[in-house]
Amino acid sequence: MTGFLSQDLITLIFPIFFLFFFIVCIGVIFISQRRKKTRALVQKIKDGGVADASFRDGSQTRKRALPGTAEQKNPMAAFFSFFSGKARKKDTELPDPSDMRLKFLRAGIQSKNFGAAFFGAKLFLPVFFVCVFLILKFSVYISMSNINVILILVFLGLFGFYLPDIWLKQKTDKRKIALFKALPDALDLLVVCVEAGMGLDAALLKVGQEIEDTYPELAREFAYLNLEIRAGKQRAEALKNLYLRTGIDEMNSLVTLLIQTDKFGTSVSKALQVFSESFRTKRFQMAEELAAKLPVKILLPLLIFIFPALFIIIMGPAGITIYKAVIKGF
């Protein structure tokens, strides 16, 4: 009985130590983020209050004007926010590219308090997985060795901690693909609107309205761009913020092109036509690259699944005939 209690005590020591170490790491992360925001605020004051303030001007107008951007109360997000602590009110200034707020924006998450839910999930999931495994261990897998228990606990803790990051990465990649697919059609409509005599701002707004049903992500970004310009922000800054929110290289090229045409006074329609042609050429080259990689990628499935089946079908009857002939010969 004493040996059994000692083994259980040894098994419980590691998760308790892991939980303590995990809480310390979370505290260090929050403190570092708080100091980073303090330094950014001090630098902003030193610069005379001139900073990139996307999403700050006209935020109430944005909430009323843009469909689907109002914050909805998600029970799961509220639970994780409660678990991580009371959500702090954060300023809505467009952050540094290394900030988590920008990562949320690139994933299409507009909620200001989503950071609390995100870090709450990173704190809750490891503890949840570890506790579930310990319950199963003491009720079902009683004879499992301590080494296996420790390894599984480490894996579950790390998996639960990085699971929100994996989900955020997949959501961001999916949104980037959607924006990349929507950009060619949006460019064609933009060229048509500009050639029809519309200004660039009005053309972007019109394109966003036309593609809202087909490509809602890009339409929402164009709507944000228009709202920033209407709120008084310079067009160059609003275009740069458009690239920061999307995070795709093609949008960076488009933004650079529009800024240069606005700065030097060149023809917007001709520049957009050249960019549209180059963009379609790039898409065609990417399709050719994928087609060239296809034979190499299909080689392994052919060797594992197709060729053995063909070999059996072709050589099977001959092998059976040879086998029968050899048996009868003896």
Is 185 contained in some domain?
Answer: no
Q: What per-residue confidence (pLDDT) applies to 166?
A: 93
The total number of structural domains in the chain stands at: 1
Q: Which of 28, 25, 21 is nearest to 130 (CA)?
A: 21
Q: What per-residue confidence (pLDDT) applies to 52?
A: 43
Is 17 contained in some domain?
Answer: yes
Structural domain boundaries, residue 121: 2-176
Amino acid at 169: K
Contacts of 218 (CB under 8 A, 6+ apart): 178, 179, 182, 183, 186, 208, 211
Residue 202 structure tokens: 């009005």
Residue 98 structure tokens: 């290394």
Q: How far apart are CA 113 and CA 330, in angstroms?
A: 83
Is 215 contained in some domain?
Answer: no
Q: What per-residue confidence (pLDDT) applies to 174?
A: 93
Which helix (H) or strand (E) segment holds residue 307: the answer is helix 307-329
Is 311 contained in some domain?
Answer: no
Is 121 contained in some domain?
Answer: yes
Q: What angle do CA 200, 204, 210 make, to 5 degrees?
A: 140
Find tokens 């403190």 and name the residue. 31
Is 320 contained in some domain?
Answer: no
Is 81 contained in some domain?
Answer: yes
Contacts of 120 (CB under 8 A, 6+ apart): 79, 80, 81, 82, 83, 84, 85
Q: What per-residue confidence (pLDDT) applies to 173?
A: 92
Q: What per-residue confidence (pLDDT) applies to 4?
A: 45
Angle formed by the axes of helices 235-246 and 249-264, to 10°? 170
Q: How far apart are CA 59 and CA 241, in angstroms?
A: 15
Is 234 contained in some domain?
Answer: no
Q: Which residues of the chain have pLDDT under 70?
A: 1-20, 44, 46-98, 328-330
3-state SS assignment for residue 276: helix
CB 226 within 8 A of CB 54: no
Find tokens 């339409």 and name the residue. 219
Q: What per-residue confidence (pLDDT) applies to 76?
A: 53
